[in-house]
Amino acid sequence: MTDRYNIHSQLEHLQSKYIGTGHADTTKWEWLVNQHRDSYCSYMGHFDLLNYFSVAENESKARVRFNLMEKMLQPCGPPSDKPDDA
**26 vs 33: which has the higher pLDDT:** 33
- CA-CA distance, 62 to 56, in Å (whole number)? 14
Tell me the average pLDDT of the chain.
84
Q: Per residue, what are the HEC states of the chain?
A: CHHHHHHHHHHHHHHHHCHHHCCCCCCHHHHHHHHHHHHHHHHHHCHHHHHHHHHHHCCCHHHHHHHHHHHCCCCCCCCCCCCCCC
Cα Rg, the chain, nearest whole Å: 18
pLDDT confidence of residue 86: 44
Q: What is the pTM of this model?
A: 0.72
